[in-house]
């Protein structure tokens, strides 16, 4: 349930309406909640405009929601039970999220300081990509990460409750945002642009308080707690000093901490509060927040510099790498620690080549977090190699505690120790294996007083290798650098300068002195020149290519002209005085006197663009600029941002000035030291610092304006330019001149009609306190540069099985194009030109070539062969065709496939064989006999072999066998006819049937088809039988039924049917019956299409029988079996259609081949050696083709083992 809460203070008052924070707090157990001491003292209530229609749905997978997070805290409120406070935030570095402090803190009502809400019971979380409704106020989707209490850092905790400008916090997560989202999200960029009234801003966050009555019913149903939404509006008012901003929009609870984006998607501030009463007029309902001032941004950047991830981050199987600017490498190949990696579009790394390296760093801090040993490399080597470290044995640690006998180890690698260093009862051993990237061994110590560090100083020197280029290996000069004049000396004296908001360059000109530019440290705030960090005690770091680093502070920097340093190039000069010498590196050679550089001459620049030491050699000077006072500026090409302050050298390799600005692919600029500047620098090199000496600019006047100037008497010489000194202080006013000199005030603007590198000047005259002024505006070329790069299409080949070989169709491809647009911006005060590149890509369309690959079939006929057999049944000279036979076929089918290069190759080849069936002809060998012998009995059966009557052999049978030809059978002429009297074993019957009785019995069967009636009575027999006919219900479904009965007696064949109660004597004309007499002769008999073999005793043969060297099998009823047969032992046999047992190779009707041993038993799971080749029979008895056997051997398409 949602509750109205006190909190989040006033931003302004208008009638009865105030502004309150948009943090939503809800009860998880449904109890009431007390007033919360958050910023201010009004009830937390969030309101909307337009019924909430300006709150738009946002997919968390869209670019607009990238980096936006939900954050929530659960805590015990005491009497009201468990509570949840939920808000929003945005990542501005991989593991650094910006939000509002009141998402986690309440204010102390007495002194307005911050108090952690819920105290020790508080549990806070950050959630990425939640996109479904919460369940009991807990997210049901996305990725959640629990926060440590010390991971929440406040901008100004002491004054938290006094002003919204202090309601700011940074949250540091263990996982970077790429790891939390599988590479889908990246941090958002802090904007450098100024925000003004009327500018468009967009808020994206996770609202969850929908209780205002001004929210429409439709939107109440649409909006869900747990999903992201956006609100776009314009700035209504802004206080440039504090950053306080208001805007007319909906501002629901839960939006607190939501980022405010400008029209470029950059973060310009955060949302904090909204209208606190539903009765306010809609025109007066507003949202409010803070636009980041330079002070805010400097603090955020210092948090990023301190806590932002650099180097490797391992997340299970996924590995990410972050450069010196905390940016993940994506869609690129890069060399890191000597190994090459490919990073996909989501930043996940794959090793391409080389050996992966790991490094172990020792970090020792005191209990306040002050570094005592700053990430000293103690071991490095291949990943997986052994690591064994002992803290007490480390020389740096030993030196650190040497003069502190009471030094105590508070914790070691996160494990609490709280014992003296000298106490050996705790283990200082660290045993592991080297992992990818940096492994930190951290010790927190107390009661340590290093001899080299006073309590008011800081650790200035870092010994060991420092990664300057994103790699652990130190920068090495190229062959071209080594061959350049003074190349090696200039290379190793080039200094990398790390500042809270980025990095720059410098040059070692003495063992403890670095020459650089002022704008590496300074910026302008209004009309005041301040440090970029916003503080006066900023700590910086200078690092040489050999890895040695020294820290310095603002107190160690001296400026040529601090107050004018950021207004134009001529004063952009500074020296860094180091308190410790760089002893291992020689300073560079400087020119002995000021020099002038002409257009067309060659210069070189040594600096660290993009954090990498990348000298630019022999760049041609394309333009020169006279800044006045003997100071010259020159323009050249080839450098990038980050080289500012690097050394500028002439063609002899001698230092002549400093590099000041660079634009990718365009103009770069530098300052050539004047005589006065060179004297000032040399005074510090010689250890006798002098104040700067400034020379007044000579005023240049057009000819047409000369008559307006005061005249000079002919006998009076022009006065010598006045010289005065300054040492980083506000100069006293100059003595009045007899003839006031014109002062030039220069500002810079961009001109999109001019090419980059070109400029034009407009002067406007003015006067201030009697001093003539020229307001000069220098318009620098910012014409966008558009480059188009063609993307060639590829060719894809595909096959079509419906088209014949030789078919070819082509769908032409279309090339793509990448359009890169470079836009430029000009710094108003320095004239520095910066650039931004946008890219638009039209993907190419592949050329598709379709080739015909219709399978090809070749049919080969197998001709019929003829076989003659002697027949004792045929008279000599006669022949009889037993089987006509048929032609066989061998069908070879070939399929094809298309390779990636368009070549058509054979994919598979199968051969199907339909064996031919031979023509079998019987040739008579029977001697001619007399007619009396031939017709000895009309009742004699003709006994023949089964194949003589019905020989059905499968077409694909590979083997032909002869059948036995013996015994006799009934002929068709002996079928009894109606009315015929037949003498039987029990008497004579009159036949009234044209059908044979289906079974052979001792007494004939009578088959009656009866229509209607309850029973059937057979009269006139010795033993009358009554046969129950089907019931009435059964008759209805089958009115004509066949009943069968057997009689034992003899008598009349006249039958009478009795139906119902009364006898109904009628002739059963439907009665059909017949009789077959016994045949006592041994041999084959066919009855009702079944074959039997009768022994000499008159009984039918059962089981196995061998006849004429062939085996047959008869079931329990004496019926000859065909097809597959399994005996009681589980062995399988195959009996051909003529009943003969198959032996050897056999192919059934499905085309499968089997092998039947000499006993006829089917083989399985075994190898067969046949005609010099090995074949494998599987578990089902089938021959294996084109595959691997269970024991790992391969057989080909013919079943042969491939050796």
Write the CATH number of the domain with boundaries 479-695.
2.40.10.120
In the predicted structure, residue 441 carries a pLDDT above the cut 70: yes
In the chain, the percentage of residues whose pLDDT exceeds 70 is: 76
If one counts every other C-beta atom within 10 angstroms of the C-beta of residue 559, the result is 22
- Residue owning tokens 């009431």: 32
> DSSP secondary structure string, 474-517?
PP---HHHHHSTTHHHHHHHEEEEEETTEEEEEEEEETTEEEE-
Are 102 and 39 in contact, with CB atoms under 8 Å apart?
Answer: yes
Model confidence band, residue 22 (pLDDT cutoffs 50, 70, 90): low
1190 vs 126, 292, 932, CA distance in Å?
54, 72, 69
pLDDT of residue 996: 30
Find the mean pLDDT for residues 763-778: 80
Find the mean pLDDT for residues 49-53: 92
Domain ranges of the chain: 5-304, 310-354, 356-453, 479-695, 785-852, 856-936, 972-1073
Tokens of 314: 């391992």
pLDDT of residue 657: 94
Higher pLDDT pick, 222 / 1078: 222
pLDDT digits (tens, 9 = 90+) for 973-1027: 333 333 444 333 323 333 333 333 333 333 333 333 333 333 334 333 333 333 3
Nearest to 633 by CA among 778, 812, 458, 752: 778
Lowest mean pLDDT among 327-341, 601-615, 1090-1104: 1090-1104
What residues contact residue 414 under an 8 Å CB cut-off, 6+ apart?
442
* C-alpha span between 559 and 542 (Å, rounded): 17
* C-alpha span between 83 and 206 (Å, rounded): 18
Class of domain 5-304: mainly beta
Find the mean pLDDT for residues 415-434: 89
Are 671 and 657 in contact, with CB atoms under 8 Å apart?
Answer: yes
Nearest to 676 by CA among 573, 565, 554, 587: 573
The phi and psi torsions of 259 (rounded to 5 degrees) equal -70, 150
H/E segment holding residue 297? helix 294-307
In the predicted structure, residue 445 carries a pLDDT above the cut 70: yes
The phi and psi torsions of 258 (rounded to 5 degrees) equal -65, 140
* C-alpha span between 494 and 487 (Å, rounded): 11
In the chain, the percentage of residues whose pLDDT exceeds 90 is: 33
If one counts every other C-beta atom within 10 angstroms of the C-beta of residue 1054, the result is 14
Tokens of 842: 């039209």
Find the mean pLDDT for residues 949-954: 30
DSSP class of 423: -
Are 99 and 87 in contact, with CB atoms under 8 Å apart?
Answer: yes
Are 1177 and 1190 in contact, with CB atoms under 8 Å apart?
Answer: no
Higher pLDDT pick, 942 / 25: 25
Measured at the CA of 404, the angle between CA 399 and CA 407, to 5 degrees, comes to 100
pLDDT of residue 128: 96
What residues contact residue 332 under an 8 Å CB cut-off, 6+ apart?
342, 343
In the predicted structure, residue 346 carries a pLDDT above the cut 80: yes
Nearest to 87 by CA among 271, 303, 265: 271
In the predicted structure, residue 1189 carries a pLDDT above the cut 80: yes
- Which strands make up the sheet holding 919-926, listed edge to edge? 866-875, 919-926, 879-883
* C-alpha span between 1077 and 982 (Å, rounded): 9
In the predicted structure, residue 724 carries a pLDDT above the cut 70: no
Q: Which long-range contacts (CB under 8 A, 24 or more apart) does 680-688 make?
A: 680/560, 681/509, 681/515, 681/575, 681/590, 682/590, 684/510, 684/513, 684/558, 684/575, 684/577, 685/509, 685/510, 685/513, 685/587, 685/590
pLDDT of residue 667: 58
pLDDT of residue 713: 41
Find the mean pLDDT for residues 415-422: 91
Q: Write down how long the chain is.
A: 1203
Please tell us whether the domain made up of 356-453 is placed in CATH 3.10.20.
yes
Q: Do 5-304 and 479-695 show the same overall fold?
A: yes
pLDDT of residue 1055: 37
In the predicted structure, residue 509 carries a pLDDT above the cut 90: yes
Lowest mean pLDDT among 600-614, 634-648, 663-677, 1066-1080: 1066-1080
Find the mean pLDDT for residues 1191-1202: 87
Q: Which residues of 1060-1071 are buried (b: 16+ CB within 10 A; e: fewer)?
A: eeeeeeeebeeb
pLDDT of residue 710: 42
DSSP class of 397: H
List residues bridging with 1009 in a β-sheet: 1042
Predicted model pTM:
0.43
Lowest mean pLDDT among 21-25, 483-487, 937-941: 937-941
pLDDT digits (tens, 9 = 90+) for 884-921: 788 888 888 889 999 988 888 888 888 888 888 888 88
pLDDT digits (tens, 9 = 90+) for 864-883: 777 888 888 888 878 888 88
pLDDT of residue 367: 87
Nearest to 126 by CA among 147, 151, 105, 156: 147
Are 817 and 789 in contact, with CB atoms under 8 Å apart?
Answer: yes
Model confidence band, residue 643 (pLDDT cutoffs 50, 70, 90): confident
Are 573 and 517 in contact, with CB atoms under 8 Å apart?
Answer: yes
Provide the total of helices (H) and of strands (E) in the chain, helices listed first. 10, 85
Find the mean pLDDT for residues 555-569: 84
What residues contact residue 81 under an 8 Å CB cut-off, 6+ apart?
27, 28, 29, 31
The phi and psi torsions of 705 (rounded to 5 degrees) equal -100, 0
pLDDT of residue 716: 39
- How do strand 357-366 and strand 437-446 relate by DSSP bridges? parallel
In the predicted structure, residue 1130 carries a pLDDT above the cut 60: yes
Model confidence band, residue 403 (pLDDT cutoffs 50, 70, 90): confident
Mean pLDDT of the chain: 77
Write the CATH number of the domain with boundaries 310-354.
2.10.270.10
- How do strand 1173-1177 and strand 1166-1170 relate by DSSP bridges? antiparallel
For 298-348, give the secondary structure using H, E and C.
HHHHHHHHHHCCCEEEEECCEEEEECCCCCECCCEEEEECCEEEEECCCCC
What residues contact residue 1109 under an 8 Å CB cut-off, 6+ apart?
none
- Residue owning tokens 């002067």: 763
Find the mean pLDDT for residues 718-731: 38
Most confident of 276-290, 352-366, 1098-1112: 352-366
H/E segment holding residue 669? strand 667-672
340 vs 127, 336, 349, 540, 1031, CA distance in Å?
34, 6, 10, 31, 93
pLDDT digits (tens, 9 = 90+) for 141-179: 999 999 987 899 999 888 888 889 999 999 999 999 999
Tokens of 1016: 């059937």
If one counts every other C-beta atom within 10 angstroms of the C-beta of residue 129, the result is 23
Please tell us whether the domain made up of 785-852 is placed in CATH 2.20.230.10.
yes
pLDDT digits (tens, 9 = 90+) for 247-265: 999 999 999 999 999 999 9
Q: Which residues of 617-638 are buried (b: 16+ CB within 10 A; e: fewer)?
A: bebebeeebebbbbbbbbbbbb
Specify the CATH number for 856-936; select among 3.40.50.300, 1.10.3720.10, 3.40.640.10, 2.20.230.10.
2.20.230.10
């Amino acid at each position: 349930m949602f509750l109205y809460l006190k909190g989040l203070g006033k931003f302004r008052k208008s009638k009865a309406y105030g502004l309150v924070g948009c943090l939503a707090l809800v009860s998880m157990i449904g109890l009431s909640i007390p007033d919360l001491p958050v910023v201010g003292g009004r009830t937390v209530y969030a309101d909307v405009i337009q019924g909430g229609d300006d709150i738009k749905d946002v997919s968390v997978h869209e670019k607009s929601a990238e980096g936006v997070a939900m954050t929530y805290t659960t805590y015990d409120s005491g009497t009201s039970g468990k509570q949840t406070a939920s808000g929003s935030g945005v990542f501005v570095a991989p593991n650094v999220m910006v939000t509002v402090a009141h998402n986690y803190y309440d204010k102390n009502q007495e002194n307005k300081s911050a108090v952690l809400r819920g105290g020790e019971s508080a549990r806070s979380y950050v959630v990425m990509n939640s996109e479904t409704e919460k369940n009991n106020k807990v997210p049901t989707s996305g990725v959640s990460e629990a926060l440590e209490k010390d991971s929440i850092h406040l901008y100004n905790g002491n004054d938290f409750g006094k002003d919204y400008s202090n309601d700011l916090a940074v949250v540091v997560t263990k996982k970077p945002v790429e790891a939390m989202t599988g590479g889908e999200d990246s941090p958002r960029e802090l904007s450098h642009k100024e925000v003004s009234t009327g500018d468009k801003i967009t808020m994206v966050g996770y609202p969850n308080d929908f209780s205002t009555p001004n929210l429409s019913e439709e939107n109440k149903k649409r909006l869900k707690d747990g999903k992201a939404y956006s609100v776009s509006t314009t700035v209504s008012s802004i206080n440039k000093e504090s950053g306080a901003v208001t805007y007319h929009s909906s501002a629901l609870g839960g939006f607190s901490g939501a980022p405010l984006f400008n029209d470029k998607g950059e973060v310009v501030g955060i949302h904090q509060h909204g209208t606190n009463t539903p009765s306010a007029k809609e025109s007066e309902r507003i949202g409010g927040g803070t636009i980041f001032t330079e002070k805010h941004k400097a603090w955020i950047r210092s948090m990023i510099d301190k806590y932002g991830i650099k180097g490797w981050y391992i997340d299970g199987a996924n590995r990410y790498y972050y450069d010196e600017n905390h940016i993940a490498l994506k869609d690129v190949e890069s060399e890191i620690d000597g190994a090459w990696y490919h990073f996909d579009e989501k930043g996940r790394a794959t090793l391409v080549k080389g050996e992966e390296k790991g490094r172990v760093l020792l970090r020792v801090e005191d209990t306040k977090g002050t570094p005592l040993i700053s990430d000293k490399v103690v071991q490095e080597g291949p990943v997986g190699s052994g690591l064994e470290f002992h803290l007490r044995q480390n020389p740096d640690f030993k030196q650190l505690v040497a003069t502190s006998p009471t030094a105590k180890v508070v914790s070691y690698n996160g494990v609490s120790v709280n014992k003296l260093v000298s106490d050996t009862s705790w283990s200082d051993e660290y045993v592991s294996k080297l992992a990818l990237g940096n492994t930190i061994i951290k010790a927190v110590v107390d009661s340590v007083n290093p001899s080299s560090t006073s309590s008011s100083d800081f650790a200035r020197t870092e010994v060991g290798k420092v990664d300057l280029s994103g790699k652990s290996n130190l920068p090495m000069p190229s062959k071209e650098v080594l061959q350049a004049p003074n190349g090696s000396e200039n290379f190793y004296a080039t200094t990398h300068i790390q500042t809270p908001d980025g990095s720059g360059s410098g040059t070692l000109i003495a063992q403890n002195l670095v020459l650089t530019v002022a704008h590496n440290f300074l910026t302008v705030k209004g009309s005041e020149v301040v440090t970029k960090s916003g503080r006066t005690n900023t700590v910086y770091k200078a690092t040489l290519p050999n890895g040695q680093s020294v820290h310095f502070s603002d107190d160690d920097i001296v400026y040529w002209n601090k107050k004018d340093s950021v207004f134009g190039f001529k004063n952009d000069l500074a020296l860094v005085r180091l308190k410790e010498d760089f002893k291992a590196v020689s300073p560079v050679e400087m020119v002995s006197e000021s020099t002038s550089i002409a257009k067309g001459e060659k210069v070189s620049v040594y600096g660290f663009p993009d954090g990498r030491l990348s000298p630019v050699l022999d760049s041609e000077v394309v333009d020169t600029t006279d800044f006045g006072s003997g100071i010259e500026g020159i323009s050249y090409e080839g450098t990038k941002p980050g080289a500012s302050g690097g050394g500028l050298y002439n063609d002899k390799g001698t230092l002549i000035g400093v590099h000041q600005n660079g634009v990718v692919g365009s103009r770069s600029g530098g300052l050539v030291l004047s005589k006065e500047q060179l004297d000032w620098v040399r005074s510090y090199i010689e250890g006798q610092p002098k104040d700067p000496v400034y020379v007044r600019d000579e005023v240049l006047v057009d000819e047409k304006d000369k008559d307006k100037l005061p005249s000079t008497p002919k006998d009076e010489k022009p006065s010598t330019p006045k010289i005065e000194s300054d040492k980083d202080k506000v100069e006293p006013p100059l003595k009045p001149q007899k003839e006031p000199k014109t002062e030039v005030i220069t500002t810079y603007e961009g001109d999109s009609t001019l090419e980059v590198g070109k400029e034009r000047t407009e002067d406007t005259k003015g006067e201030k306190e009697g001093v003539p002024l020229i307001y000069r505006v220098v318009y620098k070329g910012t014409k966008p540069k558009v480059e188009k790069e063609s993307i060639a299409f590829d060719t894809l080949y595909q096959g079509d099985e419906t088209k014949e070989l030789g078919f070819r169709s082509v769908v032409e491809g279309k090339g793509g194009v990448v359009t890169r647009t470079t836009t430029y911006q000009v710094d108003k005060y320095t004239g520095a030109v910066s650039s931004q590149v946008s890219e638009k890509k039209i993907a190419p369309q592949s050329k598709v070539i379709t080739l015909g690959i219709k399978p090809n079939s070749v049919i080969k006929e197998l001709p019929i062969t003829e076989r003659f057999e002697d027949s004792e049944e045929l008279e000599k000279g006669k022949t009889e065709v037993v089987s006509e036979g048929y032609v066989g076929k061998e069908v070879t089918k070939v399929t094809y496939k298309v390779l990636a290069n368009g070549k058509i190759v054979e994919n598979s080849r199968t051969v199907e064989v339909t064996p031919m069936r031979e023509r079998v002809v019987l040739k008579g060998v029977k001697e001619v006999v007399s007619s009396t012998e031939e017709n000895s009995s009309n009742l004699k059966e003709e006994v023949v072999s089964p194949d003589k009557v019905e020989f059905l052999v499968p077409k694909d049978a590979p083997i032909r066998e002869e059948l036995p030809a013996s015994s006799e059978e009934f002929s068709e002429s002996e079928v009894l006819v109606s009315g015929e009297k037949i003498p039987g074993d029990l008497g004579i019957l009159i036949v009234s049937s044209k059908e044979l009785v289906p079974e052979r019995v001792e007494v004939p069967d009578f088959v009656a088809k009866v229509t209607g009636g309850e029973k059937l009575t057979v009269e006139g027999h010795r033993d009358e039988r009554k046969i129950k006919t089907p019931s009435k219900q059964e008759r209805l479904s089958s009115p004509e039924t066949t009943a069968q009965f057997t009689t034992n007696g003899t008598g009349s064949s006249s039958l009478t049917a009795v139906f119902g109660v009364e006898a109904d004597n009628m002739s059963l004309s439907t009665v059909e019956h017949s009789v077959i007499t016994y045949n006592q002769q041994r041999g084959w008999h066919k009855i009702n299409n079944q074959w039997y073999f009768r022994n000499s005793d008159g009984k039918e043969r059962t089981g196995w029988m061998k006849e004429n060297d062939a085996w047959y099998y008869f079931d329990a009823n004496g019926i000859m079996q065909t097809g597959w047969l399994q005996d009681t032992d589980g062995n399988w046999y195959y009996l051909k259609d003529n009943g003969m047992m198959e032996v050897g190779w056999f192919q059934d009707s499905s085309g499968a081949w089997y092998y039947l041993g000499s006993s006829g038993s089917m083989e399985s799971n075994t190898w067969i050696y046949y005609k010099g080749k090995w074949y494998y029979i599987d578990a089902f008895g089938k021959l294996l083709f084109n595959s691997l056997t269970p024991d790992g051997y391969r057989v080909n398409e013919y079943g042969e083992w491939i050796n």
